[in-house]
A and B are shown apart, each in its own frame.
Chain A
């Protein structure tokens, strides 16, 4: 199997998120975030989240490892916890029309492509457009170039990724699920961008 355990991580950012998604836990200290993964099949969507979920080892965190639904809770410094509920979507072309069923109500969308595949980058741009048209207006979007360890096979430049992300108000990161590079950073960055809970 490609994805094995990574280094421990003491989660960072003291910023917290939202439970605006479908009737989330009404507890400002325990935030639930629905995160949807989009991207062509074979870009390593599942490997990224498996890395993330298995890499944390806060003994108090509850983990759900399914084949396509995963959840992981990270504790922030202000004793707030963020529970990421990660919804994977099928990347094959024939299921593209079904994606809105999944990203409805999502607080975060992570769009993944493979840096060795220009086709997957084109597909990622398609998803970004779809999300802008049909996703919730305040959805946080991340563009992720995966398989960054395969330098010699790179066909999508870092610059192209950055430009695409900037144009669409997303944040951009290149990861390697294989080496665990930037995996935790991806989720930390997302946690930082989550809106602060409304005072209640």
Chain B
């Protein structure tokens, strides 16, 4: 089966194990149900709520099927669970382009949020959110930002969620460290949320709204609970705060706020928008949620296709399933060219303003993440 296309975005051990079992002739019935489920989507127009319902029902059914299947005979709950993680990843990678940011409304919201954050980045400071100075730790914040920015580098809901959890764990450690070494009374969410909001603004994670919606709809429901649900809710909360943010949300003078926003608008108008990330990512994350679990990030040059785009004249009815692979590679080619172009244009902005956020520059680019120690000790 065409497992290779799905595995190109991951090297997770559990995922390979899942694929291996699926290659076993004894799983032919499972493979057939999975394939026919995925194909069934091509008969209907995309509809996030219906699609999510169908996917979640499919996961539930498949969990029972797997549990009773000879190939998983005698499997522990853990093994069944990791098979389900494999299934979620396989199905959602296949359905990604249909299910992610699928409505014009989502795309619009993503853009609006990203633009608003860009404006806020130019002047927002920790004191505007009354973040205590013992919690202002650039190294920790940068690490948390990087975790959040990886969110679009993954297609599987679990891996996207993991980016959020890792980001929150970094902040958690910062708070716990401050409580121990600085004698700062642990203030729980009173400290946690403002830091998360500030980190989110600094990170400006790509397609924030769509990523959150995708996780909410397609992460297996039994898994979006407890601590994972808590951190997820906090990022939803941070996003909501940012969307509704006005001068009254901040410790800032109203006139100063409006002027700063206006000034930022005028500057940003001159810089073209960039909101796609095309990096393909390989990850070794094994499902642990400790902040040290870093993902190996690879940049992959997509150099498929020439300069001609043969489908320009095609009608939807002319296309067959065979065209999908070619179309996808052409699509990647176009996106890569587009983003490269944007970056090139961006590096020659007509005017350059000083950013008030120290490591804003370059932070939008996913880079190879070294093993970093999250136990940042403050000087």
The reply to whether A89 and B189 contact each other, CB–CB distance below 8 Å, is yes
Closest to A69 in B: B230
B134: Cβ under 8 A from any A Cβ = no
Partner of A23, one of B172, B179, B225: B225
Given contacts A1-B186, A94-B250, 4 further A-B contacts (CB under 8 A): A22-B225, A41-B190, A46-B190, A67-B188
B311: Cβ under 8 A from any A Cβ = no
The reply to whether B226 and A67 contact each other, CB–CB distance below 8 Å, is no
**1/0 per position for A1-17, CB-CB distance to B under 8 A?**
11100000000000000
**1/0 per position for A153-165, CB-CB distance to B under 8 A?**
0000000000000
| Bound CA–CA A161/B171 (angstroms) | 35
**1/0 per position for B161-182, CB-CB distance to A under 8 A?**
0000000000110011001100
By the criterion of a CB under 8 Å from any partner CB, how many residues of chain B are at the interface?
A: 37
In the complex, the 9 A-B pairs of residues with the closest C-beta atoms, listed nearest first: A46-B188, A67-B175, A88-B189, A90-B193, A68-B192, A68-B189, A88-B188, A41-B190, A69-B230
Of the stretches B2-10, B203-211, B237-245, B357-365, the one at the interface is: B237-245
The reply to whether A67 and B172 contact each other, CB–CB distance below 8 Å, is yes
The reply to whether B186 and A46 contact each other, CB–CB distance below 8 Å, is yes
B341: Cβ under 8 A from any A Cβ = no
- A22-B229 CB under 8 A given contacts A92-B130, A98-B237, A101-B237: yes
A32: Cβ under 8 A from any B Cβ = yes
What residues of B have a CB within 8 angstroms of the CB of A88 in the complex?
188-189, 192
Task: Return A90 CB to nearest CB of chain B, in Å.
Answer: 4
What residues of B have a CB within 8 angstroms of the CB of A147 in the complex?
none
Partner of A67, one of B192, B224, B236, B248: B192
| Bound CA–CA A95/B236 (angstroms) | 13
A64: Cβ under 8 A from any B Cβ = yes
What residues of A have a CB within 8 angstroms of the CB of B224 in the complex?
22
The reply to whether A95 and B241 contact each other, CB–CB distance below 8 Å, is yes
| Bound CA–CA A61/B190 (angstroms) | 27
Interface residues of B in 228-256 (CB under 8 A from A): 229-231, 233-234, 236-237, 240-241, 244, 248-250
Closest to B194 in A: A90
Interface residues of B in 97-143 (CB under 8 A from A): 130
A59: Cβ under 8 A from any B Cβ = no
B316: Cβ under 8 A from any A Cβ = no
The reply to whether B227 and A71 contact each other, CB–CB distance below 8 Å, is yes
What residues of B have a CB within 8 angstroms of the CB of A69 in the complex?
227, 230-231
Closest to A87 in B: B230
A-B residue pairs in contact (CB < 8 Å), sample of 18: A1-B186, A3-B186, A22-B221, A23-B221, A23-B222, A24-B225, A32-B226, A41-B190, A45-B190, A46-B190, A47-B185, A67-B186, A68-B193, A69-B230, A69-B231, A88-B189, A92-B190, A97-B240
| Bound CA–CA A97/B240 (angstroms) | 9
B187: Cβ under 8 A from any A Cβ = yes
| Bound CA–CA A45/B185 (angstroms) | 12
| Bound CA–CA A42/B249 (angstroms) | 19
| Bound CA–CA A67/B144 (angstroms) | 15
